[in-house]
């Protein structure tokens, strides 16, 4: 039966328009709400509404849209964007299915598609027994086709989107981006950071080789983007500087004296926060300057293979750490913060009490997450988008895969709910 899909904001690429075209070709009604000139540029001539007001008027706007247009499905990227939160709340009240895309829980060959919520809002349970009971009932995960994400493709789409947004004061006067910094400032930061990266890659590769060659025991802290909603909405920290201060203080006081702390920057960090400069006086005051290694780059799988433990807030690197069998601590809300996968004690105890994740549970977790939430492909390249479209259409048209495994399909399960176990 044909359905009525409304698309909200997506990534700055042709992914959402091509997905909408595929749905329309199958007889579904498709329209979009554009919030800014960049949205309008990406969407092109396809059916769309424009919202030009401020955030305070969105609830009324969406209520009118949902009640008068017979909307059955809502499609968007990221469930914490300010323009998305009122739409999601109203859709749930009206029984409209909410499909949420997000960067992959398992990267780089996957991206996420869930219903109701992603990341800390996901309905994936935090009960280890549930995964161990469910996984054997699931079909074998299909072989993953490797993707080849290119930063150049992502940058090209992003720049076109933000150039169009220069028209916002006239065309969309009420729009305010969810990103805290202007595009121009971010581009300037990236330019300054990326220019010396070839030299830094060589330097960081030598530092990693020394760590491993000399068999130094080290813990790894992979940084997340400073303004990521995973930090600002789903953790007790305001930004990454607070995370760094807390981790360095705990490491200095409680880690074994022969241990080192390796801090690796996020590959897409804007460079607007100079972390190495920020870390230097803190490490000196704590007396751990010689035990601290800061990396701008570096081969993450190699670092994970040799780490004594991984400390993260809620980065998807945490999933990679589990797959590499590295002891892992999540300081914020994360889908993988499950007893048996991650360390369940506090940060101070992790340095001496960390243990490797349970191998059968890791395998069951991965199999279940892939089956219920992951799409093979990428969101920015023509090849990656083409690879993913058919699977996305099947998920959007089909049954809720996770709901089939949960006793309460539309309820976000609290951590460790016993009733989640089949």
Strand partners, 6: 31, 74
Please, what's the b/e burial string for 283-318 (b: 16 or more CB within 10 A of its CB; e: otherwise)?
Answer: beebebeebbbbbbbbebeebbebbbbbbbbbbbbb
The pLDDT value recorded for residue 169 is 95
335 and 380 within one domain: no
Q: What whole-number distance in Å separates Cα of residue 120 and Cα of residue 335?
A: 6
H or E stretch at 330 = strand 328-330
Return the DSSP state at 29. Answer: E
Domain-embedded: residue 35: yes
Q: Which helix (H) or strand (E) holds 101?
A: strand 97-103
Q: How confident is the model at residue 179 (pLDDT cuts 50, 70, 90)?
A: confident
The residue from 324, 341, 363 where one domain ends is: 363
Residue 338 and residue 240 in one domain: yes
Q: Based on the fold, state whether residues 279 and 140 are members of the same structural domain.
A: no
Q: Give the model's confidence band at 408: pLDDT under 50 very low, under 70 low, under 90 confident, else very high.
A: low
Quick one: DSSP state of residue 133?
Answer: H
Same domain, 84 and 62: yes
In a domain, 169, yes or no: no
Q: pLDDT tens for residues 8-28?
A: 999 999 999 999 999 999 999
What are the tens digits of pLDDT across the range 288-305? 999 999 999 999 999 999
Q: Are residues 384 and 329 both part of a single domain?
A: no
Number of domains composing the chain: 2
Residue pLDDT, tens place only, 28-63: 999 999 999 999 999 999 999 999 999 999 999 999
Please check whether residues 20 and 114 belong to one and the same domain. Answer: yes
pLDDT of res. 413: 40
What per-residue confidence (pLDDT) applies to 205? 97
Please tell me whether residues 394 and 324 are part of one structural domain. no
Q: Are residues 48 and 124 in the same domain?
A: yes
Average pLDDT value over all residues in the chain: 94
Question: Which of 363, 387, 402 is where one domain is finished?
Answer: 363
132 and 205 within one domain: no
Mean pLDDT calculated for residue range 205-210: 97
The CATH number given to whatever domain includes residue 216 is 3.40.50
State yes or no: pLDDT of 420 exceeds 80: no
Inside any domain, residue 305: yes
For residue 400, the domain's CATH number is 3.40.50.720
Q: Evaluate if residue 407 carries a pLDDT over 80.
A: no
350 and 230 housed in the same domain: yes
Percent of the chain having pLDDT more than 90?
Answer: 88
Same domain, 337 and 253: yes
In this model, does residue 214 exceed pLDDT 90? yes
Burial 163-199 (b: 16+ CB within 10 A, else e): ebbeebeebbeebebeeeeebeebbebbeebeeeeee
Band (pLDDT 50/70/90 cuts) for residue 2 is very high
Residue 409 has a pLDDT of 40
State whether the Cα torsion 286-289-291-294 is positive or negative: positive
> Averaged over 374-380, what is the pLDDT?
97
**Mean pLDDT across the stretch 140-160?**
89
133 within domain boundaries: yes
Residue 176, domain member (yes or no) = no
Structural domain includes residue 168: no
Q: 321, 337, 363 — which closes off a domain?
A: 363
Mean pLDDT of 255-284: 96
pLDDT (mean) for 183-211: 92
Measured distance CA(269)–CA(273) in Å, rounded: 9
Burial of 401 (0-12, 13-18, 19+ CB in 10 A): middle
Q: Is the pLDDT of residue 419 over 60?
A: no
- Residue 101: which of 127, 81, 72, 125 has the closest Cα? 81
> Does residue 401 form part of some domain?
yes
In a domain, 138, yes or no: yes
Asked if residue 136 has pLDDT above 90, the reply is: yes
Residues 307-331 have a mean pLDDT of 98
In terms of domains, do 209 and 346 share one?
A: yes
> What is the domain extent for residue 68?
4-152+374-420
């Amino acid at each position: 039966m044909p359905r009525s899909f409304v698309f909200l904001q997506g990534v700055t690429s042709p992914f959402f328009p091509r997905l909408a075209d595929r749905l329309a070709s199958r007889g579904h009604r498709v329209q979009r709400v554009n919030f800014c000139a960049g949205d309008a540029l990406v969407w092109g001539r396809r059916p769309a509404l424009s919202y030009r007001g401020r955030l305070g008027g969105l609830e009324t706007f969406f209520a009118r849209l949902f009640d008068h247009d017979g909307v059955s499905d809502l499609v968007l990227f990221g469930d914490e964007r300010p323009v998305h939160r009122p739409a999601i709340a109203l859709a749930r009240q009206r029984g409209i299915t909410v499909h949420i895309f997000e960067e992959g829980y398992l990267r780089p060959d996957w991206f996420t598609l869930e219903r109701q919520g992603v990341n800390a809002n996901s309905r994936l349970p935090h009960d280890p027994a549930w995964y161990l009971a469910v996984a054997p009932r699931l079909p074998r995960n299909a072989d993953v086709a490797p993707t080849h994400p290119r930063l150049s493709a992502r940058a090209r789409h992003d720049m076109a989107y933000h150039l169009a947004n220069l028209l916002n004061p006239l065309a969309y006067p009420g729009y305010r981006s969810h990103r805290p910094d202007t595009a121009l400032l971010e581009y300037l930061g990236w330019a300054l950071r990326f220019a010396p990266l070839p030299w830094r890659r060589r330097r960081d590769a030598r530092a990693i080789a020394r760590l491993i060659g000399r068999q130094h025991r080290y813990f790894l802290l992979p940084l997340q983007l400073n303004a990521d909603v995973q930090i600002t909405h789903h953790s007790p920290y305001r930004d990454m500087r607070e995370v760094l201060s807390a981790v360095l203080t705990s490491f200095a006081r409680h880690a074994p004296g022969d241990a080192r702390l390796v801090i690796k920057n996020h590959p897409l960090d804007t460079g607007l926060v100079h972390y190495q400069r920020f870390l230097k006086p803190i490490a000196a005051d704590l007396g751990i300057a010689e035990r601290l290694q800061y990396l701008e780059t570096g081969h993450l799988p190699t670092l994970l293979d040799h780490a004594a433990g991984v400390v993260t807030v809620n980065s998807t690197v945490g999933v990679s750490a589990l797959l590499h069998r590295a002891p892992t601590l999540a300081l914020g809300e994360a889908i993988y913060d499950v007893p048996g996968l991650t360390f369940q004690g506090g940060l101070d105890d992790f340095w001496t009490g960390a243990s490797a994740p349970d191998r059968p549970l890791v395998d069951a977790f991965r199999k279940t997450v892939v089956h219920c939430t992951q799409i093979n492909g990428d969101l920015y390249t023509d090849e990656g988008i083409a690879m993913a479209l058919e699977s996305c259409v099947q998920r959007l048209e089909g049954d809720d895969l996770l709901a089939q495994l949960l006793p309460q399909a539309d309820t976000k399960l609290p951590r460790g709910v016993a009733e989640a176990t089949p």
